[in-house]
Structure 1
Amino acid sequence: MYDRALLALDGLRGNLKERSVHYNSEMDKKLDAEVKLLRDVRRGIDSDEFTFFIQPRCDINTGKIISGEALVRWNHRERGFVSPGEFIPVLEKSGLTLIVDQLIWEKVIAWQGKRIKDGDECIPVSINLTRADLFSIDVKKTLKDLCEKYKVPRRLIMIEISDKTYNDVDKEILAMIKEISDAGFPLIIDGFGSGYSSMIMLQAVQPEVITFNMKVLNDEEGHITKAAVILHTVANCVQVMDIPLIVKMVETDEHEQYLKKFGCRYAQGYHYYKPMDVSSLEKIIKVRENVDYSGIKGWLEEANEEPEEPETSVIENSKGKNFFREIVDIRRQVRRKVGAE
């Protein structure tokens, strides 16, 4: 009786809408399935069944790949590839995320190292860090050692910090993240604008890239809602700070049109490329026209790339100055004041 009550109570965790719950036999079935999956996960770790796919990130103006994100995948020996939505919660609940994360980090860095050894050019690839990683191991030392082992420049390994990692504005976490960034690993703040914590992160560290998730703007049918003003606001904010913005989960022409409307340049999603194994990615980036190895550029760098603006975008004031250039100057002044320059 007591065990069943605990099992029912476990189903309430994180659910703020319900105040009570009743036990039913389906809960036992769910628990049995989780236990079996956990056994399979442990065996999968021992059997090296966990690998990574990479989802490219693109310049929407050219369609060229500028970087990628490494995503964990589980190739089950009997079931084939298991949905991340099925096994990742089990990893998190069991504490095995730390082990799998380190496996993926090494595989990503080893792959980059092999390409360098073979004389191939590399795109920067981001790996994900969790709170468990930061509190359980010396992440900075682990990554430095791996880069040294496989002779990979740190600039090619981008560190992606999700809002789940820093959402309680923990000063200790911010200090650890800053140390990793200061060691030469480019920092990505994932899910920017999802809460107050995003602003705290910007005060503590200077990220190379910020991402915004398109799904927060979609209605149930995947169409953009009036909440698109959020994306517009985020785009304006990072423009002033001169931090490149990558919009994730771009899946339709409608999504892309909104990005262009708000001046966004970089995107990631099924509209461009789905996550793929490294052999498939290598076939794509082997064609040089598919890749921009100059990487992600800041807003000011983009402005300085173009010596002259098209006539349709030039607004002259009474002194005849280019209004666009004045905006650039204002951004530089703001960045100096907040210590970004």
Structure 2
Amino acid sequence: MPDLGRVRRAHHDQARGFRALQLRLRVRRGRRHPRRDRSAPGLAAARAREGVPLPRRSLLVVAEGADQKTTSELADAIRHRLFSPLEVKDKLLRVPAVVVSRHHSVVSAGTFSVLSDLRDLCESQSKEGELPVRRAAVGDVAVEENIDPLTGLWRSNEFLRRSNLYCAGAGSQKCCLVKIDIGNMHIFNEWHGQGRGNELLAAVGATLARAERAGNGVAGFWGNDDFTLLCPNEWTLIDDVFLRLCEVIASFDDSVGFTPSLGVYPLEERAEIGIDEYSKATFACTAAKRDYENHVKYFQPVEYARERGEHLLLSKFQYAVTEGRIMFYLQPQVEIETGRIIGAEALARWRHKDGSVTSPGQFMDVLEKSGFVVTLDKAVWRSLMERLRIWMDAGGRTVPVAINLSRVDIASFDVVEYLSSQVEELRIPSELIRVEITESAFAEDEKGVAALVARFHQKGFHVHMDDFGTGRSSLAMLSDVNVDAIKLDRSFLPNGSVNDEKSAGIVRSVASMARTLDVPVIVEGIETEEQEKLVCSVGLGIAQGFKYYRPMPPEDFEALLG
């Protein structure tokens, strides 16, 4: 590979610079301002700083106020990043150059034009096994910390700064921020090796750099396999970038799983581009990754607001747990014939700082999706058992209490050992705890949940199948899992609709099946006399619902028991 430029290092007062330039930068002691030779290249430097374009084969990077160490670092950076790997149409390119100082905040239009022209002339001639050529470090701060050495693209902070400058000069043209993510990059690295993965990242960087050089915006790299492109908000342009990226990635591996995903966030006029805008583009990119048909997605404000709301809820939830504001209410279970309370179900509640209380329907779905339902359940279980211990110590009446076990709990930790350790620590008889597992959990993993039920039985716990009728239960499955009771879901009770006769038939069938298996049935959600009459007519005698009691604080439940 030809060496198109080499740095002559000098010390202290000796001249420093590129031999190809024949321009000296003298470094003096003290203030150390460089002195320029007024040769032809020196004149070219002055002209470029004034905005006068230079010949296409001139590279100008102005250095003023640079100390010796800075100049040396910049010279090395330019030599390694630009000159060594470049070849122009199979010919050696003799490029005059001057080093730029990192302290420069503004570079003239002429300088930037020259640098762009030089990159357009240069073509990568990488050999097999070598990384593709990285682009030159150009612009007002041509120093290593602003350029990612692998992809040759601007690092995040510099990308944001340049993007704002680009938008400021775009006039009435609308821009957008595009987040780019390579599909399953970790799998690519496992299949092909880290070295080949780096080559892919460099090739993607080169593709985006070409889009930038064509005047289509600013390209950046944020680490891992995350790229960004600030460009005009034109679908044809974005689609062209997507197709070019697909071609590049397919040249490494044409598996569909490595297809890139693009998230597009349209920018408001004169909007400041920062981390918030990047987050919104990332949100759109994540949506694109989930869509196997459309890998380019525009930002959706409604979906973003919903997700932000969920994140806010989770943050508040963590504070509530820390401050002890996650609590439980108890809803009694009664014998219909006598009205006697024979048990209860513990239901989670979230008490806010203003004293208001939120029921699970407003937060349970978010907690289950995020996995934080485990934190909720453990807090409720512990609080319940501590309350049972207090009642037992006071010599009051106690009844079995049902707790809810989610599929997330089952998958996340050993719930049998956890609950066993809790009742042992607090000296609570395990038969006072009824473990409710949803029917859907049984249906998804019948053998696994059946084994779990057997372990609970070994520890003395009773197990109920919750929400019966909403899943895919069968007589055979109920026989295999050996639950102690089933809870008929409220959705099967007549409610004054045209389907009441069908609902009544389902209740009769469940009652008949339960008698066959000799399994007790607890009917949830009874609110009316008609519903109670139906339940009693088919021989079901245990109920839970608003007709009898609403969920109540444990203090009220204790008073109710007497």
Same fold (TM over 0.5): yes
Alpha-carbon distance in 2 for matches of 1:198, 1:245: 15
Give me the identity figure in percent: 31
SS in 2 for 1:191: strand
SS in 1 for 2:357: strand
Check whether the contact 1:8–1:27 (CA below 8 A) recurs between aligned residues.
no
Residue in 2 that maps onto 1:232? 508
How far apart are residue 25 of structure 1 and its match? 2.4
How far apart are residue 214 of structure 1 and its match? 2.5
Residue in 2 that maps onto 1:104? 380
- Deviation track 1:75-125 (CA, whole Å, cap 9, x = no partner) reads 022472123111111111111111111111111111111111111121000
Alpha-carbon distance in 2 for matches of 1:108, 1:132: 20
How far apart are residue 150 of structure 1 and its match? 1.4
How far apart are residue 143 of structure 1 and its match? 1.3
Return the letter of the residue paired with 1:48.
Answer: G
- If the length of structure 1 is used for normalisation, what is the TM-score? 0.75
Residue in 1 that maps onto 2:26? none
How far apart are residue 144 of structure 1 and its match? 1.4
Residue in 1 that maps onto 2:326? 50
User: Is 1:193 matched up with 2:504?
Assistant: no
Return the letter of the residue paired with 2:397.
Answer: E
Return the letter of the residue paired with 2:363.
Answer: F
Residue in 2 that maps onto 1:130? 406
How far apart are residue 40 of structure 1 and its match? 0.4
1:159 to 428, 435, 438: 435
- If the length of structure 2 is used for normalisation, what is the TM-score? 0.46
Residue in 1 that maps onto 2:454? 178
- Deviation track 1:248-276 (CA, whole Å, cap 9, x = no partner) reads 01111111111112111011000110011
Judging changes above 3 Å, is the alpha-carbon distance between structure 1 residues 6 and 239 closer, same or farther for their aligned structure 2 residues? farther
Query: Runs of 5+ in structure 1 lacking a partner?
Result: 13-20, 287-341
1:202 to 464, 478, 481: 478
Alpha-carbon distance in 1 for matches of 2:491, 2:401: 22
Alpha-carbon distance in 1 for matches of 2:449, 2:513: 24
Alpha-carbon distance in 2 for matches of 1:139, 1:157: 13
- Deviation track 1:173-195 (CA, whole Å, cap 9, x = no partner) reads 32122211222101111122334
Alpha-carbon distance in 1 for matches of 2:286, 2:496: 32
Check whether the contact 1:160–1:187 (CA below 8 A) recurs between aligned residues.
yes
Residue in 2 that maps onto 1:243? 519
How far apart are residue 170 of structure 1 and its match? 4.0
Return the letter of the residue paired with 1:61.
Answer: E
Return the letter of the residue paired with 2:537.
Answer: K
1:83 to 359, 364, 372: 359
Structure of higher RCO (CA pairs closer than 8 Å, 6+ residues apart)? 1
Judging changes above 3 Å, is the alpha-carbon distance between structure 1 residues 223 and 193 closer, same or farther for their aligned structure 2 residues? closer
Judging changes above 3 Å, is the alpha-carbon distance between structure 1 residues 243 and 22 closer, same or farther for their aligned structure 2 residues? farther
How far apart are residue 223 of structure 1 and its match? 8.1
Question: Once superposed, which parts of structure 1, at least 4 consecutive aligned residues long, lie more than 6 Å away?
Answer: 9-12
Alpha-carbon distance in 1 for matches of 2:496, 2:298: 30
Judging changes above 3 Å, is the alpha-carbon distance between structure 1 residues 249 and 222 closer, same or farther for their aligned structure 2 residues? farther
1:32 to 308, 333, 337: 308
Residue in 2 that maps onto 1:72? 348
- Deviation track 1:190-229 (CA, whole Å, cap 9, x = no partner) reads 1223343454542333222111012234458698342210
Judging changes above 3 Å, is the alpha-carbon distance between structure 1 residues 173 and 243 closer, same or farther for their aligned structure 2 residues? closer
Return the letter of the residue paired with 2:560.
Answer: I
SS in 1 for 2:349: strand
Give the count of matched residue pairs. Answer: 278
1:142 to 414, 418, 442: 418
Check whether the contact 1:178–1:204 (CA below 8 A) recurs between aligned residues.
no
Judging changes above 3 Å, is the alpha-carbon distance between structure 1 residues 195 and 96 closer, same or farther for their aligned structure 2 residues? closer
Check whether the contact 1:209–1:243 (CA below 8 A) recurs between aligned residues.
yes
Residue in 2 that maps onto 1:331? none
Residue in 1 that maps onto 2:192? none
Alpha-carbon distance in 2 for matches of 1:102, 1:201: 29
Query: Runs of 5+ in structure 2 lacking a partner?
Result: 1-177, 179-262, 264-281, 292-296
Judging changes above 3 Å, is the alpha-carbon distance between structure 1 residues 22 and 165 closer, same or farther for their aligned structure 2 residues? farther
Moved more, 277-286 or 202-211: 202-211
Alpha-carbon distance in 1 for matches of 2:326, 2:288: 32
Alignment root-mean-square deviation, CA: 2.5
How far apart are residue 10 of structure 1 and its match? 10
Residue in 2 that maps onto 1:117? 393
Check whether the contact 2:284–2:300 (CA below 8 A) recurs between aligned residues.
no
Structure with bigger helix share is 1
Residue in 2 that maps onto 1:313? none
How far apart are residue 45 of structure 1 and its match? 1.3
How far apart are residue 158 of structure 1 and its match? 0.7
